[in-house]
């Protein structure tokens, strides 16, 4: 079964850190670029970061650059998002999503169910 | 940065046609993708590259893109089509991925 399952969310105080994980199964994870996308309560989808299949190329949204780090372990079929210096405005559901390889590399063809991150004192 | 403009809401009578627009500067020169998100669920892609339906998406969904407006059309709307719909493009100038604000479709 092809799926993405996020974990690691929770409640954290401002300034603290959190690490999210996204476990992939049912497809050749190492051949796909992967994204993190977030959605604050009642707000639009916001792209956070992308990492390409080999893990060497990464790109971040301006809102998280310098605070968040995307990484992957292809031997474990897992994507990560290290979130440091968290702020209240980082409160959101965080989704991992797959690059639509073979269709359009600038689209997202599969999404996980998301993990909730709440930043509050 | 590139901005996408969508109407907040669209209402459509059961069985009629819903039209959702996505505005952007010369968006006709970009590939637009559309996602459907039902309450409490993850997004699902319903249209790639302006007008290409993924497998499993009904033919009732169609898309177009020209000038400054991309459009997702839902024909013969059903109650199950109620959802938020987001357009998305890649902004080559920043290498960022951009989403519209989303349109809530209500089937009356």
- CB neighbour class for A25 (10 Å; exposed up to 12, middle 13-18, buried from 19): exposed
- Residue A11: pLDDT band (50, 70, 90) is very high
Per-residue tokens: B23: 């505005």
* Secondary structure, 3-state, chain B: CCCCECCCEEEECCCCCEEEEEECCCHHHCCCEEEEECCCCCCEEEEECCCECCCCCCCCEEEEEECCEEEEEECCCCHHHCEEEEEEEEECCCCEEEECCCEEEEEC
CA–CA gap between residue B23 and residue A94 (Å, rounded): 26
pLDDT of amino acid B22:
98
User: Would you call B48 and A59 a contact, using CB atoms and an 8 Å cutoff?
Assistant: no
Q: Which of A47, A109, A113 sits opposite B42 (nearest CB)?
A: A113
Average pLDDT in the A79-100 region?
Answer: 97
What are the pLDDT digits (tens) for B57-85?
999 999 999 999 999 999 999 999 999 99
Q: Which of B43, B48, B89 sits opposite A111 (nearest CB)?
A: B43
CA–CA gap between residue A16 and residue B103 (Å, rounded): 34
Write the CB contacts of A75 (distance below 8 Å, at least 6 apart in sequence): none
Q: Is B54 on the interface with A (CB under 8 A)?
A: yes
CA–CA gap between residue B99 and residue A53 (Å, rounded): 23
Average pLDDT in the A90-106 region?
Answer: 94
pLDDT of amino acid A99:
93
Tokens 């954290």 sit on residue: A12
Average pLDDT in the B87-102 region?
Answer: 96
pLDDT of amino acid B4:
98
Q: Is B88 on the interface with A (CB under 8 A)?
A: yes
The yes-or-no verdict on residue A70 having pLDDT over 90 is yes
- Residue A46: pLDDT band (50, 70, 90) is very high
Write the CB contacts of A11 (distance below 8 Å, at least 6 apart in sequence): A118, A119, A120
User: Would you call B31 and A109 a contact, using CB atoms and an 8 Å cutoff?
Assistant: no
The yes-or-no verdict on residue A109 having pLDDT over 90 is yes
- Residue B53: pLDDT band (50, 70, 90) is very high
Helices (H) and strands (E) in chain A, counts: 0, 11
pLDDT of amino acid A102:
84
Q: Is A112 on the interface with B (CB under 8 A)?
A: yes
CA–CA gap between residue B27 and residue B87 (Å, rounded): 11
Task: Name the 3-class secondary structure at A85.
Answer: coil
The yes-or-no verdict on residue A69 having pLDDT over 90 is yes
Q: Which residue of A has its CA nearest to B92?
A: A106
Q: Which of B33, B37, B98 sits opposite A107 (nearest CB)?
A: B33
pLDDT of amino acid A103:
85
B29 φ, ψ to 5°? -90, 0
CA–CA gap between residue A117 and residue A95 (Å, rounded): 11
């Amino acid at each position: 079964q092809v799926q993405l399952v996020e974990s690691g969310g929770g409640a954290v105080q401002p300034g603290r850190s959190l690490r999210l994980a996204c476990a992939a199964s049912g497809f050749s994870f190492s051949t796909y670029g992967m994204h993190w996308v977030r959605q604050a309560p009642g707000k639009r989808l916001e792209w956070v970061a992308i990492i390409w299949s080999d893990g060497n190329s990464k790109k971040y949204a301006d809102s998280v650059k310098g605070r968040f780090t995307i990484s992957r372990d292809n031997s474990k079929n897992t994507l990560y998002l290290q979130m440091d210096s968290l702020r209240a405005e980082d409160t959101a559901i965080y989704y991992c999503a797959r690059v639509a390889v073979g269709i359009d590399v600038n689209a997202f063809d599969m999404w996980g169910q998301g993990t909730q991150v709440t930043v509050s004192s | 940065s590139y901005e996408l403009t969508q109407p907040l809401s669209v209402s459509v009578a059961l069985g009629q046609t819903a039209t959702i627009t996505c505005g952007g500067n010369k968006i006709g020169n970009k590939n637009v993708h559309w996602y459907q998100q039902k309450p409490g669920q993850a997004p699902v892609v319903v249209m790639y590259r302006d007008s290409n339906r993924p497998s499993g998406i009904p033919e009732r969904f169609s898309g177009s893109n020209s000038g400054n407006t991309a459009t997702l059309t839902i024909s013969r709307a059903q109650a199950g089509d109620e959802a938020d719909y987001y357009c998305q493009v890649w902004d080559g100038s920043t290498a960022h991925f951009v989403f519209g604000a989303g349109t809530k479709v209500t089937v009356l």
